Structure 1
Amino acid sequence: FPPHQQQQIRVQLAMVLEAVISQQLMPTADRRARVAAFEVMFANSAIRNLIRESKTPQIMSIIQTNRKDGMITMDDAIYDLYQRGLVTRDDAITFAQDSAFMMRKIPGGSMY
C-alpha cells in the first residue's frame, strides 16, 4: 500500500482480524503419512494494538505468552510434535522457522 494509506489499512485490519492459522505438513517419524503443525494467533487487544502501531515484529512474543488462550507459534507446535514422537529431530529442525532455536531445544546428534 502507498505510505499515505498504510496507517488506515493497519487500523482497518486491526478492527476486522479475528485469527490467523497457518499449517505445515510434515512427514511422520515412520515416513508413512504426514502430520500438520499449526501456528495459531487470535486477534486479542494486544495483537490489535501492535498491528495498529506497526509493531508487528512483537506479535510473536504475544503468541508465545498466550499459549493458555490457544495461541501457539509454529516452532512450539513442531516441538510438541517431536515431543510426542510424531516427527523426527531432523525434520523438526528442517521445518522450524528458527532452526537454531529448535536445535537448542532438541540437543544431541548431528542434523544428518
Structure 2
Amino acid sequence: MFVDNHLEGSSVFYNGDIVLDKKAADMMYGTTSRRRKRATTRMKDRLWKKGVVYYQFDPSLSRLARKAVKQAMEHIFNKTCVVFKKKRKKNPDYVRFISEPGCWSNVGRVGGLQNLS
C-alpha cells in the first residue's frame, strides 16, 4: 500500500514502520533481487559512510523526546560500530528527528534529508 507520509514521492510502509522508497521496495519485493533472511539491506549505497549518521532535531521536538533519542543513540553506539554526530552545513546526508503520527523511518542512508518519526 502506498501512503503519503510527508516525504518526497510515495513510499511503502513495510511492517507498519519502515519506509520503503521505490528502490528499497524493488529490492524487497522485486523479481530481480532476493533479500536474505534478516538482512536489512544489500544495497551498499544505503550504508552510512564510515558508520557515521549525521542528525538534527526538528525545532518542534520536545525536550523529553530529544533526551529519549539521545539515550537511544548512546545505546546503539555502545552496542554497534554506528556513531551519531550533529549535522553541520557540510553534511549533505542526515536524519532529522521529527514528531509526527506513528513511528517510522527509512532503512539506511537514502541521501539528503531523511525524516525519522
TM-score by length of 2: 0.28
Larger Rg over CA atoms: 1
Query: Which structure's residues are more often strand, by fraction?
Result: 2
Give the TM-score, by structure 1 length.
Answer: 0.28
Q: Which has the higher helix share?
A: 1
- Structure with more relative contact order (C-alpha pairs < 8 Å, separation 6 or more): 2
